[in-house]
A and B are shown apart, each in its own frame.
Chain A
């Protein structure tokens, strides 16, 4: 009898306390003079390196816009602010967190997560609630064939990442009097939507030139070891080695290529800058080919950050430890700029009007031109291929943007 007397009030108080704490974050899309944009990004887990680059990019974009007076909607000045959650690099968490941002935090404007897999999970939720999302880090083509209407991507799609390295290998073969069909290709890709689409793009090009694939491996799920692949590469002597596994994959590749002294005349790796492989592995990364969405040497300019080089300088001043500014950060900043202009063009916080306004985006920025097609992907900006030449990233392809000739064969260090 007495037990119930004592327990029930405590129990109810406890539950009420928990409910209060849980209910606390309920906010609104626009609070006072602040527009709150939501995002769940990888602060931990295998994509955390790039998740942090991307959030740095978002933050710099927000800071710059706020410094320049913020966003004007309906004649009123608003500041931007981002609410973050950590998706732990898993789409499982992304879906829950986007649901939380939209339903619990009542946020109506979103920035994408890092990686194609998490973006695919996020897009399912944003599409369901018809909440527009500008994303900067999901490149897989499979994002843009689903008929999504509230998804806008500022970056180029993944099949373009390594395609130009195939063309380059063919060109070099011809120059040396060999037939491109003699070129032997070894490749290792992470088993995720992004890298698999990079692979699909590469295979199309390899087939076009009739090249031979001698190694076609998948990287292990935690991306920490690819020595088995590299030992095969050593035995088979391919002319071209392709690797894609986000930052962690790039770091693993650079480390083990050095350790195992892999000597392939042409090596192309995605995410070199983001993985900071030059800082970490020095001269052993010389002559790696690195596809990039953006380069500070390109002649893009825009009204918020000036030229690509100006952005590069500002970013390095703002964040310590960057010898090269990864394109992941630059495109994240660009996504914030897209939101800013969309708010002002729509002159409203109505999500439908904002969606239409986003679709009309046609702007020049330090990151390149941004114009979305029907499916929401940016079609106004090319990708370039850079080579690490004596520790510097120089554009070598496509020819239109090339500032330096390609070093071939790669000097094994």
Chain B
């Protein structure tokens, strides 16, 4: 059919296949990185949408640390996103203005930031956002890690629901009136690109860090907690410490993304923007399930697919977008419980370096039992 037209592609495919695995990996990462870096120039109009995609990938990756690798389904991770966002905003404003005056409901202060003030505030704010979210993760962790299974899920949901109410009642940061963040002291495209690259860097950093982390003893330890926590504890793993570190890592990257995202949107408020529990908070789980939880690439693929589908339905199916999304979630949960990567692993195990011996797998259990008995008898 399209064989002739696609022949250069086949040649590329053949070339890629001919490379050794390490080289293939480098080509793959190189391509993604090149695409990511060039996107704001090639698809300039889509800069914002692609920046959100990187944030979505970060969401899915961080949720998977606990939800996929450690078997702790948190519904409250979005809290760290909002906490990072608010800490960053407070730092950005607090460095140069009285925050309470800045956020007054009648708009008391006329704001002007010099470029130097802006960038100092932003840089310090992002770092503080990440670290602050991490600190909160430790505090919340002490409370909720006593819980297991659905109790843990609901406990964390409580955190995500309480946080916006608390901030909404806190007049110092404007309560439900929210905060308009300082204006970027430069051109619009420059601003878009700055926040785009921050999102890109944080998503790549998360991926790289987790790739390394999962290859260490830490990865094995949290997998052990997922498989059997009592046994892991019995084997001498300090499970609480592992859980806490896992959650803090998720919180740190979520805090960074929240700090950047708040500035990208420009206006933050607690109920809808900083703590979107029923949208982003749920999306991060759906994306993991869709891509395949407990895998490194699953969240990335799931987030990419989910975000693309979402953007297309939102633009072309006005009024039906939530229905389309609901159908997508149901189909995923019913038919692809292992997600795309999980399904691929089953369908094409050889892609994952798992060798399947057709002869052995064709044997019935009875044959194997018989063979084993024979070999035992021969001894």
Interface residues of A, Cβ cutoff 8 Å to B: 1, 3-5, 7-9, 12-13, 18, 21-22, 24-26, 43-44, 84-86, 89-92, 95-96, 99-100, 103-104, 106, 117, 120-121, 123-125, 127-130, 140-147, 159, 190-193, 196-197, 199-201, 218, 221
Residue contacts A-B, CB under 8 angstroms, 6 given: A4-B13, A128-B184, A128-B188, A190-B176, A200-B105, A200-B106
In the docked arrangement, what's the CA distance between A12 and B279, Å? 30
Chain A neighbourhood of B308, CB < 8 A: 18, 22
User: Quick one: which of A96, A130, A145, A192 contacts B269, CB cutoff 8 A?
Assistant: A192
Identify the closest chain A residue to B14 (Cβ).
Answer: A4
Q: Given A4-B14, A4-B16, A9-B10, A193 and B322 touching (CB < 8 A)?
A: no
For the complex, give the distance between the alpha carbons of A121 and B105 in Å: 15
Closest A residue by C-beta to B47: A103
In the assembled complex, the CB of B226 is this many whole angstroms from the nearest CB of chain A, namely 31
Kindly report which residue of chain B lies nearest to residue A129, judged by CB atoms.
B188
* Closest CB in chain A relative to B41 CB, distance in Å: 13
Bound-state Cα–Cα, A1 to B191, Å: 45
* Cα–Cα distance between A147 and B17 once the two chains are bound (Å): 58
Within 8 A of A (CB), among B150-168: 164-165, 168
Q: A44 to chain B: which residues have CB within 8 Å?
A: 319, 322
- Contact of A145 with B318 in the complex, beta carbons under 8 Å: no
CA distance A130 to B321 in the complex (A): 30
> Considering the chains assembled together, what is the distance between the CA atoms of A96 and B14 in angstroms?
40
**Cα of A95 to Cα of B176 in the assembled complex, Å:** 18
In the complex where A90-B273, A142-B105, A197-B106 touch, is A124 in contact with B48 (Cβ < 8 A)? Answer: no
What sequence of 0s and 1s flags, for each residue 159-189 of chain B, a beta carbon within 8 Å of any chain A beta carbon?
0000011001100001111101101100010
Nearest CB of A to B6, in Å: 4
Binds A, one of B108-116, B213-221, B328-336: B108-116
Given that A125-B266, A143-B107, A218-B176 are known contacts, is A8 also in contact with B183, CB under 8 Å in the complex? no
Say yes or no: A91-B107 contact (C-beta < 8 A), given A9-B10, A22-B308, A22-B311: no
User: Are A100 and B49 in contact, with the CB atoms below 8 A?
Assistant: yes
Asked if A146 contacts B111 (CB within 8 A), the reply is: yes
CB–CB B271/A124 < 8 A: no
Chain B 288-331 interface 0/1 with A at a Cβ cutoff of 8 Å (1 = within): 00000000000000000000100110111011011000000000
C-alpha spacing A218/B109, complex, angstroms: 25
Contact of B52 among A24, A96, A121, A201 (CB under 8 A): A96
A103–B45 contact, CB under 8 A?
Answer: yes
Known: A117-B269, A121-B267. A8 touches B191 (CB 8 A): no
In the assembly, what is the distance between CA of A106 and CA of B45, in Å? 9
Q: How far is the CB of A290 from chain B (nearest CB, A)?
A: 22
Chain A hits for B191, CB < 8 A = 128
- Give the chain B neighbours of A142 by CB distance below 8 A: 104-107, 177, 180
Chain A proximity mask over B260-286: 1 for CB below 8 Å, otherwise 0: 000011110101110010010000000
B351–chain A nearest beta-carbon distance, Å = 8
Nearest chain A residue, comparing its CB with the CB of B348 = A3
| Chain B residues in 8 Å Cβ range of A193 | 105, 176-178, 269
Cβ-based interface call for B356 (8 A): no
Partner of A192, one of B16, B45, B52, B176: B176
**Smallest CB–CB gap between B340 and chain A, Å?**
13
CB distance from A34 to the nearest CB of B (A): 19
Other A-B pairs, 17, CB within 8 Å; known A96-B48, A103-B48, A141-B106:
A1-B17, A4-B17, A9-B6, A44-B319, A90-B276, A91-B265, A95-B266, A103-B44, A117-B272, A120-B178, A128-B183, A142-B104, A145-B110, A193-B176, A197-B106, A218-B176, A221-B165
Q: Are B106 and A86 touching (Cβ within 8 A)?
A: no
Contact B49 A96, beta carbon cutoff 8 Å: yes
Within the assembled complex, what's the spacing in Å between the Cα atoms of A34 and B348? Answer: 53
What are the residues of chain B within 8 A of A90 when measuring CB–CB? 272-273, 276, 279
Alpha-carbon gap, A125 to B348, bound state (A): 46
Say yes or no: B273 contacts A91, CB within 8 Å. yes
Q: Which residues of A contact B269 (CB under 8 A)?
A: 91, 117, 192-193
Residue of B nearest to A8 (CB): B13
B17 touches A91 (CB 8 A): no
Which of chain B's residues 1-30 have a Cβ closer than 8 Å to chain A? 2, 6, 9-10, 12-14, 16-17
